[in-house]
């Protein structure tokens, strides 16, 4: 019964995800995760090498479950490049709250751990590539502001849509989710469109 192993693994991943979101990525111990998953602390170490390894695996797991790629599908199907930009901001902007806790946890260890950094970058590269594609589309439709190169506009778009900016506007400035999406859309349109 090798499915038992997989089941336990999934239980641990689910518990990790849940706790990370509950506590916004802060102060979640290995023993908390084990308890929440209904297994011993050591069982966690039988499935994952270390805390960082577990977090990376959880990131991958969450990514599969939530399916950002599929959500971004509708962006590719957009009738125009400008509409694609709008949809992109909306889809990603509404995705952030779902992954916020885990993101925070990953970002916190990113600086001290090479593997975590890689995991985060991998996750982000999806967004970065999407940003580049959008900008490329805008450029081909001749609506990209002439003051930017494709690369610069892509970097800016990607940076503006960072989890940290979302966090700052929502948490520190008290913006609502709709305010965020609307505001970001207006701001980005103003800065990179002609």
- Binding positions for DNA, rule: CB under 7 A: 1-2, 4-5, 7-8, 29-31, 38-43, 45-47, 49-52
Residue 82 binds to its own copies (criterion: CB under 8 A)? no
Q: How far lies 48's CA from each of 11, 19, 107, 123, 134, in Å? A: 13, 17, 19, 20, 37
Distance CA 23, CA 136 (A): 38
Two tokens at 183? 């505001």
CB 9 within 8 A of CB 47: yes
Residue 112 binds to its own copies (criterion: CB under 8 A)? yes
Interface region with its own copies, contact rule CB under 8 A, candidates 18-26, 33-41, 43-51, 79-87: 18-26
Give the shortest CB-17-to-its own copies separation in angstroms: 18
- E strand or H helix at 79, and its extent? none
Residue 176 binds to its own copies (criterion: CB under 8 A)? no
Residue 160 binds to its own copies (criterion: CB under 8 A)? yes
- Angle at which helix 114-140 crosses helix 81-110, to 10 degrees, equals 170
Residue 27 binds to its own copies (criterion: CB under 8 A)? yes
Give the nearer residue to DNA in terms of CB position, either 46 or 66.
46
């Amino acid at each position: 019964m090798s499915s038992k192993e997989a089941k336990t693994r999934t239980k641990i991943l689910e518990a990790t995800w849940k706790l990370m979101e509950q506590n916004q990525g802060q102060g979640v111990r290995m023993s908390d995760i084990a308890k929440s998953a209904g297994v011993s602390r050591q069982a966690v170490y039988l499935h994952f090498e270390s805390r960082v390894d577990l977090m990376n695996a959880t990131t991958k797991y969450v990514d599969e479950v939530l399916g950002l790629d599929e959500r971004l599908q509708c962006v590719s199907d957009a009738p125009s490049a400008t509409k694609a930009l709008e949809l992109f901001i909306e889809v990603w902007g509404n995705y952030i709250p779902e992954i916020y806790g885990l993101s925070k946890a990953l970002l916190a260890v990113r600086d001290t751990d090479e593997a975590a950094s890689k995991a985060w970058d991998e996750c982000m590269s999806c967004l970065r590539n999407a940003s580049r594609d959008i900008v490329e589309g805008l450029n081909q439709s001749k609506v990209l502001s002439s003051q930017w190169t494709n690369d610069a506009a892509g970097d800016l778009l990607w940076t503006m849509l960072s989890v940290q900016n979302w966090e700052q506007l929502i948490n520190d400035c008290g913006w609502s989710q709709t305010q965020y999406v609307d505001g970001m859309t207006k701001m980005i349109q103003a800065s990179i469109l002609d």
